[in-house]
Amino acid sequence: MTVLDTRAHVAARPQEPGPARHPRTRTYGMCPPEHFDVTYAINPWMRPGVDVDLDRAMTQWQVLRETYRSLGHRVEELPAQPGQPDMVFAANGALVVRDRAYGARFRHPERHAEAAAHATWLETLGLDVVEPQHVNEGEGDFLTLGSMILGGTGFRTTLDAHVEAAQLLDRPVVSLELVDPRFYHLDVALGVLDDGNGEAPADIAYLPQAFSRHSQRTLAELFPDALRCTMDDALAFGLNLVSDGQRVVLPTAARDLTAALEGRGYTPVPVDLSELLKGGGSIKCCTMEMHA
């Protein structure tokens, strides 16, 4: 039997246009970096004693906040607390789906006090806040899609927390194992481009090398057309992005990813958050989404 080599035929076919991209209005939670500093090291990016330009950090954060507002999104602000320099990374404080918030239980003692501050604030917004029994760091390790939640584990969030979140939020959680300490949270190894809650299917970008082999297989099976990010862009925190389904806010340094997004029908919105990168966080870290 002759096996037909179809490679030339495939290459000759015109590329089909991707799905139309449509933005959806979102509500985000943010916390100003009024007390931002690097006084301890709980991830490979932190260097205690590094000079932090607080005015520059605040200006960059304000640009991010106003970028969201200019795109038509709503921003709720969590008051900063003295002695909590990492509160600016608001995504870590909870996972919010509809009217329920699954609270955070931080792994490192330096951040323990943040959990209560987030819970109190979320309650003032009328949300049902559930105190967790297991270690988890909110949207740092939980990324919500229309049909499932992607859960990261390996450094900050336990598998038991994945089970707990699935039960409390009534959504399946797909566990993904992180293996590179530079990508210690899921939201620095994977970015949600389209959550699949609109007209287009769910779409993601990720760095395969940040995940164990079995998790790479899981991602390839669930998202065969996902955008694979380069290591250089991932190290620039390019995957720590926020998308409304069409406009993608991402770090200015992620140039290859910016070009790739344009090729997939997205509109990149570059923002410089380089001062906050000294604490090991960028755009998504500063942004908690209140998922409808």
Q: Please list the active-site residues.
A: 185, 285
CA dist 86 → 29, 91, 94, 111, 141 (Å): 15, 11, 14, 7, 16
Cα-based torsion angle of the residue sequence 128, 95, 56, 280 in order, rounded to the nearest 10 degrees: 150
- Contacts with 148 (C-beta within 8 Å, 6 or more apart), sequence order: 171, 172, 173, 174
In angstroms, the first-to-last Cα distance of the chain is: 55
Q: Residue 183, class by beta-carbon neighbours within 10 Å (0-12 exposed, 13-18 middle, 19+ buried)?
A: buried
Lookup result for tokens 């992180």: 178
Side chain identity at residue 116, one-letter code: A
- Contacts with 120 (C-beta within 8 Å, 6 or more apart), sequence order: none
The beta-carbon contacts of 117-126 under 8 Å, at least 24 apart in sequence, are 117/78, 117/79, 117/81, 117/84, 117/87, 117/93, 118/78, 118/90, 118/93, 118/94, 119/94, 121/29, 121/78, 121/79, 122/29, 122/94, 122/96, 125/76, 125/290, 126/99
Collapsing DSSP states into helix, strand and coil, what is residue 150?
Answer: strand
Return the closest-CA partner of residue 157 out of 136, 174, 138, 177: 136
Q: Which tokens belong to 173?
A: 């959680």
